[in-house]
C-alpha cells in the first residue's frame, strides 16, 4: 500500500491539470490535492475544482503559483504553459519537493539555473517522450546509453513540402492527429517547434549530448520514445497516445498507478510506421539544436520568439512557415548571455522580453 501523497497542481484548468485531477478522483487513497492554481482564463472551472477538492491553498496568476509551489507538499505538478512557469519551478525545487514537470519551457529557458537548484532525482518529467525515456533508462546504467530517440507524430502536415505549408490555416494547424492540447502546444506540434524544445529538454534532463539525441517520425505515437544501449538493444515505452501514464508516473514516481490507462490491445492487428524527419520542411528541430548548443539564453530566445510568432499566426499576421523563419532571425540577432552558464532569473527573463520585442518588430505592428 502506497502512502497518500499531497499534491500541488499548477495550471489546474489546462489539459495536464484537468487530467491530473481525473487521476486524483480515481485514486483518492493515493493522492490528496493541497494546492491549486490557474491563470484565470477559465474561472468557472477553477471555482468548481476548488469547491470539489477543497485545497489548503488556491489562487490565480504567477504569484499564486510561486506561493503554492513553495508550500509543504510531496509533489508539485507544474502544468503551466510558457515561460511564466519558471519561477514556480524554482520555488518547488528550493522547497525540496518532487517536481513533476510538464512545463518544459521552465527547464529549457532556465537551463543551468534550474539544474543547479535541483537535487538528484528531484525533477520527474511529465512530457510523454521524456517520461518514456526515464522509464526506459531503467534498462541499463548511464554508461551503457548510446543514444536517445524521441518520437514525433509529424503533426497534421506530415509529408508536406515547405511550399505546401505556406498557406495552411490556424484551424488546420490545430487539428493534431492524436492529442487534444492547448493552442500554443498544438501549433508547436504542427511546426515541430515542440519537438525542438523536447530535444533541448532531453539534453538537460538526461545529460546526453545533442549529437546523441535523435528524432524519428512515428505517426501512430504508440512508441513514446526509446533508449538505444551500447550493445545494440533498444528499450522503448509503448502505450496509447494519451498523457495519463506520464502524469501518473510524475505524481507517483517511481511507483506506478494501477489502471492509469488502458493497455495496448495486442489481439488487434496494427501497423506502426517510422520515417526520417524532413528538416527542410520542418527546420525547427535543427534550429533548436543550434540554440541548445549555443546555450546561455539562446533557448530562452528561441522559446519566447516562437510564442510571439504563434500568436501572430493565429491573428492572421504571419504565415505558418513564417513562425520558424522569424524565430531563426531573432536567434541569429542575439549574442547577449549566449554561452554563459552563470545565469540568473533576471538574465533569462530579460532575454525573454528582448526576444518577444524583436519578434514583434520583425512581424510588424498589427
Burial of 78 (0-12, 13-18, 19+ CB in 10 A): buried
Q: Tell me if 78 is assigned to some domain.
A: yes
pLDDT, residue 3, reads: 85
Q: Tell me if 290 is assigned to some domain.
A: no
Do both 255 and 362 map to the same domain? no
Do both 89 and 146 map to the same domain? no
What is the domain extent for residue 223? 131-279
Q: Which of 246, 279, 312 represents a domain boundary (last residue)?
A: 279
- Residues comprising the chain, all counted: 366
Do both 147 and 194 map to the same domain? yes
Do both 10 and 112 map to the same domain? yes
pLDDT, residue 282, reads: 97
Do both 141 and 248 map to the same domain? yes
Q: Please report, in tens digits, the pLDDT of each residue of the chain (366 residues total).
A: 568 999 999 999 999 999 999 999 999 999 999 999 999 999 999 999 999 999 999 999 999 999 999 999 999 999 998 889 999 999 999 999 999 999 998 999 999 899 999 999 999 999 999 999 999 999 999 999 999 999 999 999 999 999 999 999 999 999 877 666 678 888 999 999 999 999 999 999 999 999 999 999 999 999 999 999 999 999 999 999 999 999 999 999 999 999 999 999 999 999 999 999 999 999 999 999 999 999 989 999 999 999 999 999 999 999 999 999 999 999 999 875 555 557 889 989 999 999 999 999 999 966
- The enclosing domain of 347 has a CATH number of 1.10.1740.10
pLDDT, residue 48, reads: 98
pLDDT, residue 112, reads: 87
Q: Tell me if 289 is assigned to some domain.
A: no
Do both 155 and 92 map to the same domain? no
Amino acid at each position: 500500500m502506497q502512502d497518500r501523497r499531497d499534491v500541488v497542481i499548477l495550471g489546474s484548468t489546462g489539459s495536464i491539470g484537468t487530467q491530473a485531477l481525473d487521476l486524483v478522483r480515481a485514486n483518492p487513497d493515493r493522492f490528496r490535492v493541497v494546492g491549486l492554481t490557474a491563470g484565470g482564463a477559465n474561472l468557472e472551472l477553477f471555482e468548481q475544482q476548488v469547491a470539489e477538492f477543497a485545497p489548503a491553498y488556491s489562487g490565480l496568476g504567477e504569484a499564486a503559483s510561486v506561493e503554492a509551489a513553495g508550500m509543504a507538499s510531496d509533489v508539485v505538478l507544474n502544468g503551466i504553459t510558457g515561460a511564466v512557469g519558471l519561477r514556480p519551478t524554482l520555488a518547488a525545487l528550493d522547497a525540496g519537493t518532487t517536481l513533476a514537470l510538464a512545463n518544459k519551457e521552465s527547464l529549457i529557458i532556465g537551463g543551468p539555473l534550474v539544474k543547479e537548484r535541483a537535487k538528484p532525482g528531484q525533477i520527474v518529467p511529465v512530457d510523454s517522450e521524456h517520461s518514456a525515456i526515464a522509464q526506459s533508462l531503467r534498462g541499463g546504467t548511464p554508461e551503457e546509453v548510446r543514444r536517445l530517440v524521441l518520437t514525433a507524430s509529424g503533426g497534421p502536415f506530415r509529408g508536406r513540402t515547405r511550399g505546401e505549408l505556406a498557406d495552411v490555416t490556424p484551424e488546420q494547424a490545430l487539428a493534431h492527429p492524436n492529442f487534444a492540447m492547448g493552442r500554443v502546444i498544438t501549433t508547436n506540434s504542427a511546426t515541430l517547434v515542440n519537438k525542438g524544445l523536447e530535444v533541448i529538454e532531453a539534453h538537460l534532463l538526461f545529460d546526453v549530448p545533442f549529437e546523441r539525441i535523435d528524432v524519428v517520425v512515428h505517426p501512430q505515437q504508440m512508441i513514446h520514445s526509446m533508449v538505444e544501449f551500447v550493445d545494440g538493444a533498444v528499450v522503448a515505452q509503448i502505450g496509447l497516445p494519451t498523457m495519463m501514464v506520464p502524469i501518473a508516473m510524475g505524481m507517483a514516481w517511481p511507483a506506478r498507478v494501477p489502471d492509469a490507462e488502458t493497455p495496448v490491445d495486442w489481439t488487434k492487428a496494427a501497423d506502426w510506421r517510422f520515417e526520417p524527419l524532413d528538416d527542410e520542411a520542418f527546420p525547427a528541430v535543427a534550429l533548436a539544436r543550434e540554440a541548445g548548443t549555443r546555450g546561455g539564453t539562446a533557448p530562452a530566445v528561441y522559446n519566447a520568439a516562437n510564442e510571439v510568432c504563434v500568436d501572430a499566426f493565429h491573428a492572421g499576421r504571419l504565415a505558418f512557415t513564417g513562425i520558424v523563419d522569424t524565430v531563426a532571425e531573432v536567434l541569429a540577432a542575439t549574442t547577449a548571455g549566449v554561452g554563459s552558464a552563470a545565469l540568473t532569473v533576471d538574465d533569462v527573463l530579460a532575454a525573454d522580453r528582448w526576444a518577444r520585442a524583436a519578434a514583434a518588430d520583425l512581424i510588424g505592428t498589427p
